[in-house]
Chains A and B, each alone.
Chain A
């Protein structure tokens, strides 16, 4: 069995108090192995995004523990969490969250600069990553000049900037049309084939169908888990229902 990269035990996150208490994530257990693609699916408001934020250390859990590459995230200070995000985690967001005034290349090189790489090395690496996501010819474009699918591919390139242990993708195709969704899924497929660990939260069954493992979530808790037989192998477009 592959090494466990990310584990969560009894993970909880509650907002409010008294009668207004909302359990966004309720006693969740999760284990993600290296190279695995895990999809967490559920309706809007079921706590998927909050779960992803907890796994990435963007929010503090109110209970439970999270272990990433042997380190307890829930016990780390802000500085250590920031270091972990720089080195071990890549985020992909539904709204892309690219910086408007930076070109595609400048957006991709930002995590490397934050990690202390030299500007030359960061630039070289960003060019490689843009090449990898098929956007080498769009390196000097501002986000406003890119299509939705291209923006998300830039965001994925940025998430890969520091060679993370795990990429956490929050509704990565939520703002995309079918063609752009297929572009992104193909990219994830290539990453999966290259051994990248991925956790994708989505409410789109077509995206979930491409994972190794599908976890269904409702009202903050996991209600079902399915190991997908084919994973993303095979005809991705047909599997996802995006091609005939």
Chain B
């Protein structure tokens, strides 16, 4: 008990003595913990908005569809035979079916409004309300001849509402209303804003439009496009929807009807959130890596400052185990605090990422932070702190009492080849290379830190290059834009954490090299040469890290690209600029700490070595 109390008192005293480094340590781990919390919490996002929409629209339990013969890209063959609507009839009196609506005719058309163009899936409906799947109006009124109702997310993307005017296959319709439905799996439609010369299929996800049956049939006939048909079924027990759909498919393998359960439709609505979750989990591991680097640098720096304290503790009878326990306990407690803050922040931010979009009503609310999420986040935070603290803690514990009391610095590494090569370089590079070579582990940390951030930046550039390529074809994709925002936010977090790392590494290097810097100045190096050398000690590993970031970023996007879509590489000059900007940024943020490192009078530094 006494030992535990001593560990607590020493740990608390240390944190109070060094609040800034404690705060930085908490911030570094908290950033990773927040991202991890978001990634894990999104897995538990409720499908409440879908359920709400389903209840409001008398959403079907099963949707059946028959399509005509299709050509390449799933486009119905123009002038081909119509779909076998009779294949839907047996479903209306199948066992377990208590109600139905339809079959409704379906056709595809090109919609134009205000110079925008998009693919539209047109569904012919009755003017009377349907018993199953009656879309819920959020604006205006239901369909009438010559009028259409637009699905809400489609209307939002097009920027058109009730009272507006659209053309479908060149025929003008008044927009009677805007509505939501739970009967179709709607991903955000892709809209062509200018100069598109693409087929409807090439335009990607079509938006949904309702009009009267007669108008839909007339539209299809005019375009010589055969009709599809859709049938909405209500079951006695909605929970049987999957079993009903699978059972029907198995029992009627030759049926032209394709069945989809409401669970399957609901799962489709979650695709955006699942993509976000995947990105956040990858981001959290990258940020976790950076947090390990941050904590390792912080702990290393603190250990360099505390060597004498360790010696004093050992001199008054502390065991090496106690020394290691104090350091570990202190950082583990800070890690728990960081994890708690990360969990809180993640829980608060999650609703921003779980918005269902305009296709559904209601909101998912804050996803639950489960016991498993808490355990994983706290476990990762503790692991980050333990991995980064263990080596310095054990090293401190092993330091001999005499050398710790003398506050003697850890002997630097000798790299004969680097020393020989550096003799041929200008003074700042000579000094910088030799300072960097003294602490190879710090160089590795710096390189990894920059490589991870540069990978994130390259990944963002690739995502944007992909969107730019789509935009050049005139297409906008709101769903991808939201994912792009998530990637950008993760990358900003990576860059900020890497910048913090660079500052910490520079400051640790400045402290570690203060004697060498003072000596170099005593031997005739100018303060400018010394501070440029201290900057160079960070910039050289940063250059390597930035170069590694290019394949790193490509690998990252390839890992995320689970669907095997074609990857768009950014232009070469973007990649070259990334390396140059990274190196310039590292140079800029190391200037101040490196300059501060040469402010102390040489005589004072050299004299202090005697104390």
CB-CB nearest in chain A for B430? A113
CB-CB nearest in chain A for B523? A111
CB-CB nearest in chain B for A93? B606
The answer to whether the Cβ of A82 comes within 8 Å of any Cβ in the partner chain is: yes
> With the chains together, A113 CA to B426 CA distance in Å?
9
B interface footprint on A74-107 (CB within 8 Å = 1, 0 otherwise): 0000110011011100010111010111100010
Q: B residues within 8 A CB of A122?
A: 423
> With the chains together, A113 CA to B434 CA distance in Å?
13
Query: Which one of B434, B519, B524 lies within 8 Å of A87 (CB-CB)?
Result: B524
Contacting pair B524 A101 (CB below 8 A): no
Q: Which of the 9-residue segments A53-61, A177-185, A234-242 touches chain B? A: A53-61
Contacting pair A79 B526 (CB below 8 A): yes
Q: A residues within 8 A CB of B526?
A: 78-79, 82-83
Contacting pair B413 A86 (CB below 8 A): no
Within the complex, the shortest CB–CB distance from A200 to chain B, in Å, comes to 17
The answer to whether the Cβ of A30 comes within 8 Å of any Cβ in the partner chain is: no
CB-CB nearest in chain B for A99? B516
The answer to whether the Cβ of A216 comes within 8 Å of any Cβ in the partner chain is: no
The answer to whether the Cβ of A139 comes within 8 Å of any Cβ in the partner chain is: no
Q: A residues within 8 A CB of B252?
A: none
A interface footprint on B595-607 (CB within 8 Å = 1, 0 otherwise): 0000001111011
CB-CB nearest in chain A for B421? A119
The answer to whether the Cβ of B239 comes within 8 Å of any Cβ in the partner chain is: no
Contacting pair A97 B609 (CB below 8 A): yes
The answer to whether the Cβ of B390 comes within 8 Å of any Cβ in the partner chain is: no
Number of chain B residues close to chain A: CB under 8 A: 34
A interface footprint on B578-611 (CB within 8 Å = 1, 0 otherwise): 0000000000000000000000011110110110
The answer to whether the Cβ of B383 comes within 8 Å of any Cβ in the partner chain is: no
CB-CB nearest in chain B for A106? B419
The answer to whether the Cβ of A173 comes within 8 Å of any Cβ in the partner chain is: no
> With the chains together, A109 CA to B438 CA distance in Å?
19
Q: A residues within 8 A CB of B528?
A: 79
Contacting pair B522 A85 (CB below 8 A): yes
Which residue of B412, B515, B606 has the most chain A CB atoms within 10 A of its CB atom? Answer: B606
Report whether over half of chain A's contact residues are helix, strand or loop; otherwise say mixed: helix
Contacting pair B438 A101 (CB below 8 A): yes
CB-CB nearest in chain A for B412? A101
The answer to whether the Cβ of B521 comes within 8 Å of any Cβ in the partner chain is: yes
Contacting pair A100 B603 (CB below 8 A): no
Contacting pair A101 B414 (CB below 8 A): yes
Q: B residues within 8 A CB of A91?
A: 522-523
The answer to whether the Cβ of B71 comes within 8 Å of any Cβ in the partner chain is: no
> With the chains together, A166 CA to B35 CA distance in Å?
62
Q: Tell me the residues in window 43-59 of chain A with beta carbons closer than 8 Å to chain B beta carbons.
A: 49-50, 53, 56, 58-59
CB-CB nearest in chain A for B420? A119
Q: B residues within 8 A CB of A144?
A: 411
Contacting pair A59 B604 (CB below 8 A): yes
Within the complex, the shortest CB–CB distance from B115 to chain A, in Å, comes to 64
The answer to whether the Cβ of A146 comes within 8 Å of any Cβ in the partner chain is: no
CB-CB nearest in chain B for A87? B524
The answer to whether the Cβ of A196 comes within 8 Å of any Cβ in the partner chain is: no
Contacting pair A115 B524 (CB below 8 A): yes
Query: Given A82-B524, A101-B419, A110-B523, does the pair A95, B603 have CB atoms closer than 8 Å?
Result: no
The answer to whether the Cβ of A114 comes within 8 Å of any Cβ in the partner chain is: yes
> With the chains together, A79 CA to B521 CA distance in Å?
10
Q: A residues within 8 A CB of B434?
A: 101
Q: B residues within 8 A CB of A53?
A: 601-603, 607
The answer to whether the Cβ of B427 comes within 8 Å of any Cβ in the partner chain is: yes
Contacting pair B423 A119 (CB below 8 A): yes
> With the chains together, A177 CA to B437 CA distance in Å?
34
Contacting pair B412 A82 (CB below 8 A): no
> With the chains together, A113 CA to B425 CA distance in Å?
9
Number of chain A residues close to chain B: CB under 8 A: 37
Contacting pair A82 B603 (CB below 8 A): no
> With the chains together, A119 CA to B422 CA distance in Å?
9
The answer to whether the Cβ of B525 comes within 8 Å of any Cβ in the partner chain is: yes
Which residue of B419, B438, B610 has the most chain A CB atoms within 10 A of its CB atom? Answer: B610
> With the chains together, A29 CA to B386 CA distance in Å?
60
Query: Given A99-B516, A106-B419, A158-B523, does the pair A59, B601 have CB atoms closer than 8 Å?
Result: yes
Query: Given A49-B603, A113-B430, does the pair A99, B519 have CB atoms closer than 8 Å?
Result: yes
The answer to whether the Cβ of A162 comes within 8 Å of any Cβ in the partner chain is: yes
The answer to whether the Cβ of B520 comes within 8 Å of any Cβ in the partner chain is: yes
The answer to whether the Cβ of A191 comes within 8 Å of any Cβ in the partner chain is: no
CB-CB nearest in chain B for A78? B527
Q: Tell me the residues in window 118-132 of chain A with beta carbons closer than 8 Å to chain B beta carbons.
A: 119, 122
Q: B residues within 8 A CB of A83?
A: 524, 526
The answer to whether the Cβ of B424 comes within 8 Å of any Cβ in the partner chain is: yes
Q: Tell me the residues in window 22-81 of chain A with beta carbons closer than 8 Å to chain B beta carbons.
A: 49-50, 53, 56, 58-60, 78-79
Q: A residues within 8 A CB of B516?
A: 99
CB-CB nearest in chain B for A117? B423
Q: A residues within 8 A CB of B609?
A: 95, 97
Within the complex, the shortest CB–CB distance from A181 to chain B, in Å, comes to 18
Contacting pair A95 B601 (CB below 8 A): no
Contacting pair B424 A119 (CB below 8 A): yes
> With the chains together, A122 CA to B525 CA distance in Å?
16
CB-CB nearest in chain A for B602? A58
Query: Which one of B415, B437, B438, B602 lies within 8 Å of A59 (CB-CB)?
Result: B602
Q: B residues within 8 A CB of A85?
A: 521-524
Contacting pair B527 A101 (CB below 8 A): no
Q: B residues within 8 A CB of A162?
A: 524
> With the chains together, A113 CA to B423 CA distance in Å?
7
**A–B Cβ pairs within 8 angstroms, 27 of them:** A53-B603, A56-B522, A58-B601, A59-B602, A79-B526, A82-B521, A83-B524, A85-B523, A86-B523, A91-B522, A94-B610, A95-B606, A97-B515, A97-B609, A101-B412, A101-B419, A101-B434, A102-B414, A109-B423, A110-B523, A111-B523, A113-B430, A114-B427, A114-B523, A114-B524, A119-B423, A162-B524
Could you tell me which B residues sit within 8 Å of A by CB distance? 411-415, 419, 423-424, 427, 430, 434, 437-438, 515-516, 519-529, 601-604, 606-607, 609-610
Could you tell me which A residues sit within 8 Å of B by CB distance? 49-50, 53, 56, 58-60, 78-79, 82-83, 85-87, 91, 93-95, 97, 99-102, 106, 109-111, 113-116, 119, 122, 142, 144, 158, 162
The 4 closest A-B pairs by CB, nearest first: A86-B524, A53-B603, A58-B603, A119-B423
